[in-house]
Amino acid sequence: KAGVTQTPRYLIKTRGQQVTLSCSPISGHRSVSWYQQTPGQGLQFLFEYFSETQRNKGNFPGRFSGRQFSNSRSEMNVSTLELGDSALYLCASSLGGEETQYFGPGTRLLVL
Amino acid sequence: QKEVEQDPGPLSVPEGAIVSLNCTYSNSAFQYFMWYRQYSRKGPELLMYTYSSGNKEDGRFTAQVDKSSKYISLFIRDSQPSDSATYLCAMTSNFGNEKLTFGTGTRLTIIP
C-alpha cells in the first residue's frame, strides 16, 4: 500500500506570495491533518479534515487555510507569505479517529 | 509555558548503551501518549503508543507513563547506530476529537 505523498517536496517563495501544498493520504484513509515543523517550535497542529469537513483547527492565523476533496486528498494554502512561514509542512493521514497517524515526507518551504 | 516539554538534546551515546528519553506535560486531560521517530528528511513514524499510566514494551523499546507526575519516558536498550534520529513525544486527551500535541523532539546520535 502506498504511503502518504506530499508535493512538492521543496519550495522557495518570496514574502507576500501565496503557496499551495498538496497531500495524498493512504488509500482508504479519510482523515488528513496538517502540521508545521520548525526547529524552535517543533510540530504544531494546523488543522484536520475528515470527509471534506474541517474537524479541528490549531492556533494559526487565517492566512493558513485548507480543504479536502471527495477522494480525501487535501491541500493547504498560505497567503501573504512571511519569513516566519519557512518550515517543514507535514501532513498525516489516518482512517479517522484512531491513534495511528501516518506521516508524509513533508514539503520544505523557504520564504525569502 | 508549553503544554509539553522535551529536552532537545542533542544526546550522544555509545552503541549498546541504554537510552532514556523523557517528556513532561501540564495538561492532566492527556490520556494517550505516543513516541514518534523522525529520520533526517523524513516524516515522523509511530514507534510506541500507550494509554493512561503504565509500561509497554516492544522489542528493544519500552514506553513508560506516570500520570501522577505528568512524566513519560522512552527507553531504548542495546542502542544501534540505526536508532540515530529525532524522537518526538506526542499526546492527546481524545483521539478523533482532539489534536495531537507534540514535544519539540530530542535529537539522538548513537556512536559506533
Q: What is the CA radius of gyration of chain B?
A: 13
Which of the two residues, B9 and A75, has the higher pLDDT score? A75
Q: Taking a contact as any Cβ pair under 8 Å apart, which residues of chain A between 67 and 96 contact chain B?
A: 90, 92, 96
Mention every residue, 6+ apart, whose C-beta is less than 8 A from residue A78: A18, A19, A21, A63, A64, A65, A85, A109
CA–CA gap between residue A13 and residue A62 (Å, rounded): 19
Query: How large a percentage of chain A has pLDDT more than 70?
Result: 96
Which pLDDT belongs to residue A86? 97
Question: Which DSSP category does A85 fall into?
Answer: G
pLDDT tens digit sequence for A76-95: 999 999 999 999 999 999 88
Query: Tens digit of pLDDT per residue, chain B (112 long)?
Result: 789 999 888 999 999 999 999 999 999 999 999 999 999 988 999 999 898 888 999 999 999 999 999 999 999 999 999 999 999 999 988 766 568 899 999 999 999 9
Put simply, whether B7 touches A (Cβ < 8 Å) is no
Q: Give the nearest partner residue to A105 out of B6, B43, B49, using CB atoms.
A: B43
The CA distance from B8 to the nearest CA of chain A, in Å, is 9
CA–CA gap between residue A5 and residue A21 (Å, rounded): 11
Helices (H), B63-107: none
Q: Which three cell numbers stand for residue A95?
A: 482512517
pLDDT tens digit sequence for A23-52: 999 999 999 999 999 988 889 999 999 999
Q: Taking a contact as any Cβ pair under 8 Å apart, which residues of chain A between 9 and 38 contact chain B?
A: 33, 35
Query: Which CA distances in Å does A42 have to A55, A68, A108, B58?
Result: 22, 25, 14, 26
Which pLDDT belongs to residue B96? 61
Which pLDDT belongs to residue A99? 64
Query: Which CA distances in Å does A4 have to A26, A72, A91, B3, B45?
Result: 5, 11, 8, 28, 12
Q: Do B46 and A101 touch (CB under 8 A)?
A: yes
Q: Taking a contact as any Cβ pair under 8 Å apart, which residues of chain B between 92 and 111 contact chain A?
A: 95-105
Which pLDDT belongs to residue B43? 93
Which pLDDT belongs to residue B95? 66
